[in-house]
Amino acid sequence: MSARGVGQEAAGVGIRRHGKAGLALALCGGLAALLSFPAQAAEFALRGPVSPTVAAVQADRPPKIDGRLDDECWKTATHMVGFWRLDNGAPEYEPTEAWICYDRENVYIAWYCHDSEPGKIVEEQKKRGGSLVSDDWVGVDLDVDFDKQDPYWFDVSAGGTQADYIPGGAAAKIEWRGDWQAATSRVSDGWQAEMALPLSMFRYPKGQSTFGFVLIRRLAKEDDWSVWPSIGPGFELTRQAVWNGLTLPPPKQGPVIMPYALLETGDTENKGVTAGLDVKHRLQNGLEGMFTYNPDFRDVEDVVETIDFTYVERYLPEYRPFFLEGGGYGPSSRLFYSRRIPDFDAGLKVFGKTGRHALGALVSEEFGQANNIVLNERYSLTPCRSVNAGLVSHQSAGEPDDLAYSLGTNQRFPSERGERSYWATWEGSRPEGGQDGSYVAGGWSDSHRTGPTTDTTLEIGGESISRDYRPALGYVPETDLHQEWLNYWRRNRHDSGPVLAQDWYSYAHLGGAEKGRRWEAGTGSSIQWRNQRGASLEFGGGSRDGFSEHTVYAATSWRNRDIYRSGDITFHYGERLERPYRYLSLSQGAQLAARLAVRLRAEHIYASELDENGIPTPASSRQQYVLGLTYDMTWEKSVSARLVKRNDGTNWYAAYRQKVRSGTDVWMIVGDPNTPSFTRRLAIKVVRVF
């Protein structure tokens, strides 16, 4: 599956795993959907070449990356035509041509995107690394290990905006993650694109002579993806093109050094100048090592958590560069939730793939206070079968030492119509002087194409968490819990008419916890129109720890694929903790000028909470408002500001960002992005790569 997240893009769609209108309603909804299947599923088959072999062609002279296909190398490069729609394997809406070649420095790829309606080509995003969800774009998934699992990908929009993904994750600094070139041009019947991808960016093993690749085009006017070769609706990389006969230089090793200096003044404990650095070095076996000293986490803008009702601690994403770099090679968040480490003085990581082994190791040290060790390995028996093991150790002054560990397996069985998969995991925790704890879970899923434009997914699984399973660095919001679940989802995609896609889903979760039986169930539907509007409706209910609950969820959205002007309204109505529950959320963006954008998110909730003794409090109201503003001077330089207003205080900050392709990155921040109220503080940070 591509890291871009192919399919299931309808706004507000998804199986919601929090309490929702009765078990009978959910099961009836699922039964009705099952009975609505055609008696015999319409035929779906892969078309075009499957895993075609492409001979490597070396360019005698590199192309000039200007978006014009007039270079000599394109006359001899491998030429590919006849893309296939990813959604249903049918021929593409508009013809696409592509070329690929290489030399000792770069991989070169070109596209000619024919379009019978060039006036409808979309190119909104201007900032490198920004979302291309609204744009026409082309891209390549490049599997340099040829293990058919986790490729690099590179996209460029019709307007020339670049976006990329590095396996396992990487920091944002362009020179640190690796720079690459792309350019586009308009022609009378569409647009053209060229890319140059430096081999020095890739962690391929020494002696590698074969890459895998998939070429992709997104047609914005139809919100449709087409690919070469035909790889099926699940983006199955076992069917990627085989590019062999490559003569590659040894992988570039480095080191790469990225120091920073930070000047702070105002209401801060760190007045004056502080400094730190990151160093990374690539090994010839495909692994990469990284060392950091005195990382600056304070000036990383964190997520603003929603105020919607939740029974447990909310899981939040990670934005700090050290943890993002190679973070995909770590263990599950139940063992290691990086937010459990708020700060440290020095850290070391080794990560990457070597042969069939995908490895991740992390050590962090807060001098004299805490030490953390994180290890994980995934061994691929085949591209579709793997086993993994993890280990996390935490030592902190004044706390008992803690050890957590895991074993797991995953198996996929792809077919032309989709895939079935099985997974199982066992985890344990062993605190010094305490009781051992365990977590056991497993599941099965079946995702298949059941008609020319219909996809279905069925999931069955269960988990059991012991009372004493509490890894010190893990995200385990509840213990002493067991539950089983059944989820069903169906999607219809329409090639014509006002409706683009419709989704139906049902879910049922049954189990028990320390305070008694639990169950939750629900059913819902969503619809997405071609005019970029969407709507969702869901009914759900259940019982939790002696409290019954029921809710209705409704949402509508507009300009879904407009990165500047999209908006949505979400409303929840019902009972939680056997008391009234109301939640309303509004989000709206606006483009005030060509380079000036603003977005407002407003939330209001009326609900009860559990006090420290587990007793519901009287229902009360809370509000939260988040206002963000961005002015892009160029794609490299911007000014931004964010205001967060809650019942308990108001915080705002403003920042200038210079994020250049080559040279010194500069941030200037007034305030503190992550405090509950405004802080009188000025910080200037400079970063450079050597």
The whole-number pLDDT of residue 28 equals: 41
Q: pLDDT tens digits, residue range 290-333?
A: 999 999 887 666 677 788 878 888 898 888 889 989 999 999 99
**pLDDT exceeds cutoff 60 at 610:** yes
CB 539 within 8 A of CB 572: no
What string of DSSP letters covers 182-194? EEEEEETTEEEEE
Choose between 635 and 45: higher pLDDT. Answer: 635
Q: Are 39 and 570 in contact (CB under 8 A)?
A: no
Interatomic CA distance for residues 375 and 360, integer angstroms: 6
8 pLDDT above the threshold of 50 = no
Confidence of residue 43 (pLDDT cuts 50, 70, 90): very low
Per residue in 452-472, pLDDT tens?
788 899 999 999 999 999 999
CA angle 166, 167, 168 (to 5 degrees): 110
pLDDT given at position 73: 96
The per-residue pLDDT for 48 is 64
**What pLDDT is stored for residue 664 in this prediction?**
92
Between residues 119 and 495, the one the model is more confident about: 119
pLDDT per position as a tens digit, 165-207:
999 888 888 888 889 999 999 999 999 999 999 999 998 888 8
* Alpha-carbon span 512 to 484, nearest angstrom: 10
Give Cα separations from 319 to 125, 258, 339, 661 (angstroms). Answer: 22, 18, 10, 21
Q: Which residue has the tokens 């060229």?
A: 194
- What is the model's pTM? 0.85
166-180, 574-588, 646-660, range with the lowest pLDDT: 166-180
Cβ proximity of 249 and 206 under 8 Å = no
Evaluate whether 613 touches 602 at the Cβ level (below 8 Å). Answer: no
* Beta pairing, strands 272-282 & 664-670: unpaired
List the strands of the sheet with 106-114, edge to edge. Answer: 78-81, 96-102, 106-114, 190-198, 181-187
**pLDDT reported for residue 302:** 67
Q: What pLDDT is attached to residue 49?
A: 65
Across residues 347-367, what is the average pLDDT?
A: 95
| Look-up of token digits 């199955």 | 236
The model's pLDDT over 88-104, given as tens digits with 9 standing for 90+, comes to: 788 899 999 999 999 99
- The 8-class DSSP code of residue 321 comes to H
Kind and range of the H or E run holding 31: helix 23-35
34: three-class secondary structure by DSSP: helix
Q: What is the mean pLDDT of residues 152-170?
A: 94
Q: What is the pLDDT of residue 46?
A: 55
Q: What's the pLDDT score for residue 632?
A: 92
**What mean pLDDT, rounded, does the chain reach?**
89
Tokens of 47: 């078309």
Domains and CATH numbers, the chain: 44-244 (2.60.40.1190)
Residue 4's pLDDT is what?
Answer: 57
Most confident of 80-84, 431-435, 581-585: 581-585
Residues ≥6 apart with Cβ < 8 Å to 565: 559, 589, 590, 591
Instruction: Name the pairing type of β-strands 346-354 and 287-293.
Output: antiparallel
Mean pLDDT computed over 243-270? 89
d(CA 597, CA 595): 7
User: What pLDDT shows up at residue 360?
Assistant: 96
Find the length of the chain: 690
Q: Which two tokens stand for residue 494?
A: 């329409």
Residues 326, 324: Cα–Cα separation, whole Å: 6
Proportion of the chain above pLDDT 90, given as a percent: 70
